């Protein structure tokens, strides 16, 4: 088994990818340029194209999943491996090239200096959300309203996939992580654990290859699914508050 | 009403035979056949107990005993769908955990083969 990193400051960048052969190579190279020497792990969600080969050629390690698990299962596999290997921080960057890797050092710095369990790269904090479609934009505004009372503070970009977590969050997510559309539910899971999160402004580029998995029709399913997930997590939260004898149970 | 009950007897008998044959051929695991066998046996008993069905319809305020029959069948299959949803959800969770574990173990194995730790 590989030796766990010795330093308490170790960072792993994970890139969940599914059929992203056209973009993943540039994503990996951009990460290497932004944070030289930091290992990059591409988690291939059983792509049918050359994603694995392109990622390896670009200098990434690849964790190939035996069958398609969906975004949550894919990201959680990366969290599990990072936790086992002893990493202190993990930053997730999507494999479609929409996140600007030059923002990674700022996310890492915010993670280390704030002590927050999660740092979200937000595309709306500096008015840079112009690349978001109308339906998705509406959905984001809706979930901002839903999450505000649950989280006790505003979250500008609850669906952002550009997320950094520390080892505490890694431990929780490696055991329990939403499997479909995980971003919003993950915030509520963190809140249940009384963890803190921070948003920092980040750049977002328009998608140049492939298509988003959330189409206009799927948005309805997305909203219902995520609302239900949030509701279930809130119920678990209340249960925990009523029975403080089992604080660690998720 | 009698014809309906006879058809139900026939259907539940066939269901019993089908499930038993499937278990014998290992198409259904024994633990998952129990729900089907219980459902088929319940339908068989209900279909042969006209008096019970009429009493149930009367208690429930239903004008027509076949409505009580429909209610019994509907509730039975709703319970079964619920049970199978629970089973499928658990299997999916187990499946995802196994797939992740397999991927991670293969990753470690490859690192050992290559003679140097990855990531």
- Cα dihedral A109, A110, A116, A117 sign: negative
Whether residue B95 lies inside any domain: the answer is no
**Which among A63, A170, A176, A229 is the top mutation candidate for probing chain B, defined by the most B β-carbons within 10 Å of its own β-carbon?**
A63
Closest approach of A61 to chain B, Cα-based (Å): 7
Please count the structural domains in chain B: 1
Whether residue B94 lies inside any domain: the answer is no
Please count the structural domains in chain A: 1
Whether residue A92 lies inside any domain: the answer is yes
Which residues on chain A are in Cβ contact (under 8 Å) with B108?
1-2
Using alpha carbons, select from A49, A26, A13, A158 the residue that is nearest to residue A96: A26
pLDDT band at B3 (very low <50, low <70, confident <90, very high): confident
The structure's pTM equals 0.83
Q: Out of A1, A67, A85, name the one closest to residue B119 (CB).
A: A85
Whether residue A220 lies inside any domain: the answer is yes
Alpha-carbon gap, residue A10 to A29, rounded angstroms = 19
Confirm or reject contact between A190 and chain B (CB < 8 A).
Answer: no
Whether residue A222 lies inside any domain: the answer is yes
Whether residue A174 lies inside any domain: the answer is yes
**A169-192 tens-digit pLDDT:** 999 999 989 888 899 999 998 888
Three-class SS of residue A212?
Answer: coil
Looking up residue A47, the CATH number of its domain turns out to be 3.90.550.10
**B19-68 tens-digit pLDDT:** 999 999 999 999 889 989 999 999 899 888 888 888 888 888 888 888 88
Indicate yes or no: CB of B119 within 8 angstroms of CB of A61. yes
Confirm or reject contact between A64 and chain B (CB < 8 A).
Answer: yes
Whether residue A5 lies inside any domain: the answer is no
Whether residue A6 lies inside any domain: the answer is no
Whether residue A16 lies inside any domain: the answer is yes
The pLDDT of residue A118: 96
Six-digit token string for A92: 């997730």
Confirm or reject contact between A3 and chain B (CB < 8 A).
Answer: yes
Residue A185 lies in domain: 11-242
Closest approach of B83 to chain A, Cα-based (Å): 19
Residue B64 lies in domain: 2-87
């Amino acid at each position: 088994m590989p030796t766990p990193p010795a330093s308490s400051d170790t960072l792993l960048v994970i890139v969940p990818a599914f059929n992203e052969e056209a973009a993943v190579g540039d994503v990996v190279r951009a990460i290497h340029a932004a944070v030289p020497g930091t290992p990059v792990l591409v988690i291939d969600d059983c792509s049918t194209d050359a994603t694995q080969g392109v990622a390896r050629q670009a200098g990434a390690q690849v964790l190939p999943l035996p069958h398609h698990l969906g975004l949550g299962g894919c990201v959680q596999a990366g969290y599990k491996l990072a936790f086992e290997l002893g990493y202190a921080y993990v930053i997730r960057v999507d494999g479609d090239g929409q996140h600007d890797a030059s923002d990674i050092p700022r996310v890492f710095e915010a993670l280390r200096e704030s002590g927050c369990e999660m740092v979200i790269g937000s595309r709306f904090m500096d008015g840079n959300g112009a690349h978001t479609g109308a339906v998705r934009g509406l959905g984001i505004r809706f979930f901002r309203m839903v999450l505000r009372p649950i989280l006790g503070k505003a979250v500008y970009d609850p669906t952002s996939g550009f997320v950094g977590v520390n080892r505490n969050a890694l431990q929780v997510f490696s055991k329990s992580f939403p499997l479909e559309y995980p971003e919003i539910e993950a915030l509520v899971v963190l809140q249940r654990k009384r963890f803190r999160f921070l948003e920092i402004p980040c750049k977002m580029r328009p998608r140049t290859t492939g298509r988003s998995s959330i189409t206009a029709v799927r948005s309805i399913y997305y909203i219902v699914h995520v609302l239900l997930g949030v509701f279930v997590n809130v119920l678990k939260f209340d249960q925990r508050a009523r029975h403080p004898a089992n604080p660690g149970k998720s | 009403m009698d014809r309906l009950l006879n058809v139900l007897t026939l259907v539940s008998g066939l269901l019993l035979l089908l499930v038993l044959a499937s278990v014998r051929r290992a198409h259904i695991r024994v633990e998952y056949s129990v729900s089907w066998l219980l459902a088929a046996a319940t339908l068989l008993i209900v279909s042969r107990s006209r008096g019970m069905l009429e009493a149930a319809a009367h208690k429930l305020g239903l004008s027509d005993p076949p409505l009580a029959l429909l209610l019994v069948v509907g509730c039975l299959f709703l319970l079964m769908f619920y049970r199978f949803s629970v089973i499928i959800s658990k299997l999916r969770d187990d499946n995802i955990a196994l797939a992740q574990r397999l991927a991670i173990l293969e990753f470690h194995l490859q690192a050992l083969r290559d003679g140097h730790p990855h990531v």
